[in-house]
Amino acid sequence: MSGSLLDASAVIGCPHGGRVSAATTPTGGVRVAGAAVVTATHAHAVVTGCPHTVDGVPTPCVSVRWTAGGSSGVLVDGAPVLLDTSAAQCFTSAFVPQGPPVVQAAQRKVTVR
């Protein structure tokens, strides 16, 4: 799998425009341009501000789960790094899948192939 490395400065949203932030802030020793690299240990994220509704009933995205298959072969502190191409899914509070998150900006200085 190839893609751009996700770090703490990545701008990510849900498919409906909500903002995604890490549930735990990456603090590892590996940094790119001063921002900590995101790994599978940070694979859960929180969504805020999702305006999604179904038939007028609010059904916002509230979380994202990333799947780091490790297929890039790049590890940080023994955990696979997350890439902008890593599989992920946004969920409601009832764990209903809402679609993949949208990576609007990722670390483009480091590309994993």
63-67 sheet: strands from edge to edge: 97-99, 87-91, 63-67, 44-48, 19-22, 11-13, 102-105
Say what the pLDDT of residue 66 is. 86
pLDDT tens across the length of the chain (113 residues) = 678 888 888 889 999 999 998 777 666 668 877 888 888 877 778 999 999 999 999 999 999 998 765 566 788 888 888 888 888 999 999 999 999 999 887 656 555 55
**CATH for the 3-112 domain, from 2.40.128, 2.60.200, 2.60.40, 2.30.38:** 2.60.200
Say what the pLDDT of residue 72 is. 66
Domain positions in the chain are 3-112
Say what the pLDDT of residue 83 is. 86
Give the tokens for residue 23.
Answer: 């549930």
